[in-house]
Structure 1
Amino acid sequence: MQTMDPIAATPRGALASPAAARNTRPILEVLKAHMPGRGRVLEIAAGSGEHAVAFAGALPRLDWTPSDSSAEARASIAAWSGAADLPNLRPPLALDVLDPATWPDGPVQAMICINMIHISPWAATEGLMALAGSRLAVGGLLVLYGPYREADRPLAPSNAAFDGSLKARDPAWGLRDRDDVTAAAKAAGLALTLRVGMPAHNLMLLFRRV
């Protein structure tokens, strides 16, 4: 499981992510305003599973399926899910955005991907967009969260330092340019419809399948 935060084991055998603890509430406020009232949601790179439990619990009319390519992450998701015992939270999928053979059938009404794009090679972003373009229903929503570079805004010093630490860990990682992400989405049939500024110099980018 890729993360830049320290991860600690919980008594239930799940993993606890400090980043998830910090950003769950502000992300949820945006989701409440823009997610469909009902339908299938696919979470990409669900990590520890804390977001999946929090969001499925707060949005009970959505059928929530978390996924991750990491077996460690899927075990943690299953542990959190088992403890929560939510009727609308599905077992985690072994989904790799770089391997279409692992992608579930569509259509789904929404997809969400939190803090993956900068901790993965650019090909993963292209794979994510291809997945969204092929599995989202027409008008379906893709939600991204994380730090980005923006041509019309100066990069916050904390994000510049974070970008440097990412590239030191793996040269293929790093903050992506919002316009490059938007162009990749457009190539897959998605249109950027909303940019939401978030705490700690993060963004939420909302796309619709056209």
Structure 2
Amino acid sequence: MKKHAPATINNRKPILEVLKSIIANNDTGNILEVASGTGEHSIFFAPHFPQQKWIPSDQNPESIASIKAWREEYPCANLQSPLMIDVMESDWYLSLKTEKISTIICINMIHIAPWEACLGLMEGAGDLLPLNGILYLYGAYKLNNQHTAPSNEEFDYYLRSQNPAWGVRNLEDVEKVANKYQLELEQKIAMPANNFSLIFRKTNIN
């Protein structure tokens, strides 16, 4: 049941350092992880934020099973049972209104999903997050429609060969959708392997 994604071993520590810098341990709001995948990030990150509930989720039943298996092997008091969430479903976020979510984390989803997943994620984040709440994205992005490295261009070609609806997204396009839901790009941080951490904050723009 447990699945393993090799990339998590390489990126989890750099991602954690960014998360520590943007999430205050005394923040009483909870953390929703969208598209948790194998669950390896969940079990690694959750213990570092004991004041908050860490809520993993995914739309794939096999991933849900993997998250549960990792959670059973590495129990953590604040790590919740995974939720079945598909951000391409309308109003996916309504059942989460009572969870007091102040941070949403989404790692390596936007390029391995149809564009509609980005649209749905932004709509839900705009609705769920309070003023000053944070949406954290991690992954590969194009800047001004240009790949930042040859390896990213190859990765983009590979993704589109697997599914024409997938692909490395243009950062400016993602930012434009975010702004529509009062999410402002606060920081863009270069990460290992030509990835970026994007930190959006819920504001009063618009």
Q: TM-score w.r.t. structure 2 length?
A: 0.92
Find the aligned partners of 1:92 and 1:102 in 2 and give their Cα distance: 15
Does the 8 Å contact 2:50/2:78 carry over to 1? yes
Tell me the SS of whatever aligns to 1:116. coil
After the TM superposition, which of the residue ranges 94-103 and 36-45 deviates more from structure 2? Answer: 94-103
- Which runs of at least 4 in structure 1 moved beyond 3 Å after TM superposition? none
Matched residue, 1:19 = 7
One-letter amino acid matched to 1:172: A
Partner residue in 1 for 2:24: 36
61, 78, 81: which one aligns with 1:91 = 81
**In structure 2, how many angstroms separate the alpha carbons of the residues matched to 1:18 and 1:66?**
19
C-alpha distance 155-137 of structure 1, shift in aligned 2 (>3 A): same
Distance 1:183 1:101, change over 3 A: closer
Counterpart Cα distance in 2 of 1:159 and 1:16: 22
Tell me the amino acid that sits aligned with residue 76 of structure 2.
L
Q: Which runs of 5+ in 1 are unaligned?
A: 1-12
Show CA shifts across 1:74-109 (max 9, x none).
000011111111110000000110113543323311
For residues 44 and 60 of structure 2, the distance between their equivalents in structure 1, rounded to whole angstroms, comes to: 20
Amino acid at match of 1:77: I
- Verify the 8 A CA contact 2:145 2:170 in the aligned structure 1: no
- Deviation by residue 1:128-151 (Cα, 9 ceiling, x = unmatched): 000100111111000000000002
**Partners in 2 of 1:35 and 1:144 — Cα distance?**
14
Q: How does 1:116-127 map to 2 (within 5 A)?
A: 116-127=109-120
Residue matched to 1:165: 158
Q: SS state of the match for residue 152, structure 2?
A: helix
Distance change in 2, residues 1:78/1:184 (3 Å): same
Rounded Cα–Cα distance in structure 1 between residues aligned with 2:21 and 2:155: 29
Paired residues for 1:30-109 under 5 Å = 30-37=18-25, 38=27, 39-103=29-93, 104-106=95-97, 107-109=100-102
Q: Distance in 2 between matches of 1:152 and 1:113?
A: 22
Q: CA deviation at 1:62?
A: 2.0
What SS does the aligned partner of 1:66 have?
Answer: strand
Question: Contact (CA 8 Å) 1:36, 1:110: kept in 2 or not?
Answer: no
TM-score by length of 1: 0.91
Matches of 1:66 and 1:21, distance apart in 2: 18
**Cα RMSD (Å) of the superposition?**
1.3
Matched-pair identity in %: 42
Q: Indicate if the aligned counterparts of 2:107 and 2:139 stay in contact, CA closer than 8 A.
A: yes
Provide the rounded CA distance (Å) in 2 between the counterparts of 1:114 and 1:64: 14
Residue 15 of structure 1, CA deviation: 1.0
Rounded Cα–Cα distance in structure 2 between residues aligned with 1:146 and 1:154: 13
Query: Which residue does 1:111 correspond to in 2?
Result: 104
